[in-house]
Amino acid sequence: MSPPQSSPPASPPPASPPAGSPTRNPIAPLLESLNRDHLDPGYAEAAARKRAAAAGGPAPGPGRRPSRRLVLVVVGCVVAGGVLGVAASRTESNQTRAENTRMALREDIDRAQERQSAMESAATDLAEQLRASQAAAGAAGPVAEVTRLENQGQLTPVTGPGLRLVLNQPPAGQGQTNAVILDRDLQLLVNDLWAAGAEAISIGGVRLNTRSAIRQAGGAILVDNRPVFWPLTVEAIGNSSAMQVKFISSPSSGRFSSFAQLYGIEFDVSAQTDLRLPGGTAPEQRLAQPLSTPPTPTG
């Protein structure tokens, strides 16, 4: 008999790692890992979720995170709500201020209307007192003379038939850099209307009198230092038919007709049956008095 073979000595157990040192798992060989893990962990987790959903159970693995689109929608709603809240607050505040301003303006208008009514009533009372005083003093003759002089001085409003002339500069874009109708053209026009028999004339709503002046400042026309605007309306009260015949044959009518053909200005003359002209501005009153002692010549 052969002697029994002795078994190899048992290998000593692996030494335990020292306390406090990290535990390390042995790295499986690459081929073993490929044979064991056929799918990527992410694919495996997705496949498990599909199987769980088909079976009607809860999906394994960590919960699904909210999508980025949902987060953006929530953030957008929050921002929009804040903006709308601020806008609504400001709108309400603006409406309150506007209502307060409107009420204050209404109160100012009411007070102004009350003052105007009181002043009109006072003016009516003073006019009645003036007429009573004139009648008591027997001033009918002087008052009539003053009225006659005011009419001659073009200071009172007048109505009646006459001519209406509408003038305007040529439209823009016709190669004109300066005004075509000048102050001297209007002066000639007014003189020809007086010569044609006009009894009262207004330019742009300004009544002319014996001391009126027509001037030009750049492209603006001044009548008695008051600006008038284009299109310009010239109204003359008088015998409309006779005035029209005389005016058409005047130099100013020919000049403005030529301007209309050459430069394209507006020049329209029409007879009117009822014109209303305002009263002119009263001139500054001047009073001269003789000196008590005659001046001594010097030199």
Report the phi/psi class of residue 155: left, alpha or beta, with left for phi > 0 and alpha for psi in -120 to 50: alpha
pLDDT band at residue 39 using 50, 70 and 90 as cut-offs: low
Query: Which residues lie across from 163 on neighbouring strands?
Result: 236, 271
Cis-peptide, bond into residue 231, ω within 30° of zero: yes
Q: CA 164 to CA 232: how far, in whole Å?
A: 10
What's the pLDDT at 33?
Answer: 63
With beta carbons less than 8 A apart as the criterion, state whether 153 and 159 touch. no
Mean pLDDT calculated for residue range 206-221: 87
Retrieve residue 269's tokens.
Answer: 């003359």
Q: Report percent pLDDT > 70 for the chain.
A: 71
CB-based burial, 179-198: b 16+ in 10 Å, e otherwise: bbbebebbebbbebbeebbb
Asked whether residue 165 carries a pLDDT value surpassing 60, the answer given is yes
State the pLDDT at residue 282: 65
- Per-residue pLDDT, averaged over 209-234, amounts to 89
Radius of gyration over every alpha carbon of the chain, rounded to an integer in angstroms = 52
Q: Over the stretch 100-131, which tens digit does the pLDDT of each residue have?
A: 888 888 788 878 878 887 887 888 788 778 77
**Of residues 87 and 252, more confidently modeled:** 252
Please state, in angstroms and rounded to a whole number, the distance separating the CA atoms of residues 255 and 263. 12
Tell me how far apart the alpha carbons of residues 272 and 163 are, in angstroms, rounded to a whole number: 6
pLDDT of residue 179: 80
Highest mean pLDDT among 11-25, 96-110, 122-136, 277-291: 96-110
Pick the most confident of 23-32, 146-155, 257-266.
257-266
CA distance linking residue 245 with residue 32, whole number of Å: 125
Residue 121 has a pLDDT of 80
Q: What is the pLDDT of residue 160?
A: 94
With beta carbons less than 8 A apart as the criterion, state whether 199 and 158 touch: yes
pLDDT band at residue 1 under the 50/70/90 scheme: very low
- Per the listing, tokens 């009514």 go with 117
Average pLDDT, the chain: 78
Instruction: Detail the DSSP E strand segments found in the chain.
Output: 158-168, 200-203, 206-207, 214-217, 220-223, 226-228, 232-237, 266-277
First to last CA, the chain: 183
Structure tokens at 283: 């001139």
> Is the predicted pLDDT of residue 14 greater than 80, yes or no?
no
Q: H helices of 37-67, where?
A: 41-55
User: Has residue 170 got a pLDDT over 80?
Assistant: yes
Of 72-86, 98-112, 160-174, 187-201, give the range with the top mean pLDDT. Answer: 187-201
Q: What percent of the chain has pLDDT over 90?
A: 30
Stretch 66-92: mean pLDDT, rounded? 79
Q: For residue 11, is pLDDT > 80?
A: no
- 252 or 284, higher pLDDT: 252
